[in-house]
Structure 1
Amino acid sequence: MLQLGRAIRKVRNKRKLSQNALGKLVGVDASYINKIENNKAPGSLLTIKKIAEALNCTLTELMALAESTESEEEIMVS
């Protein structure tokens, strides 16, 4: 499973944005950002695209980071 939530959190923290600030930029509640970051809510494609835009990255870049995060976890488990 892709670690999209973890990738979003990583970029959000790098950009020094709170979940509340990101939620306002995207037009959703901070609790929804939290659920997405913790993989408790999948988030629609449109919402994930808006999150990527708010984080000044492309959806492709966000997905690539999610895949690399997943690979790092697989290495740590092995």
Structure 2
Amino acid sequence: MKRACIETTHDDAATVAAALRPDDTSSMSTDVTDDVVRTTIERDTVGGLQSTVDDYVVNLTVAETVARTAREHDNNE
């Protein structure tokens, strides 16, 4: 089994994690501690792991952008 653990920090980590969790597969788990989102991905092959990590990074980028945009919108009201 091949494994990757990705840890990222965010101003609103809980929101980012909530946006990511619906896309978690049975080979993934996401949790939050303070401002850190930690996702562990396990796959049988290196190629499968790479594909899943690539997809995850795209989803993470979108989740962070949406959370930041929402935060900036709230601050402008």
**TM-score (norm. length: structure 1):** 0.43
Higher helix share: 1
Using CA pairs under 8 Å that are at least 6 residues apart, name the structure with larger relative contact order, 1 or 2.
Answer: 1
**TM-score (norm. length: structure 2):** 0.43
**Which structure would you say has the larger Rg?**
2
Higher strand share: 2
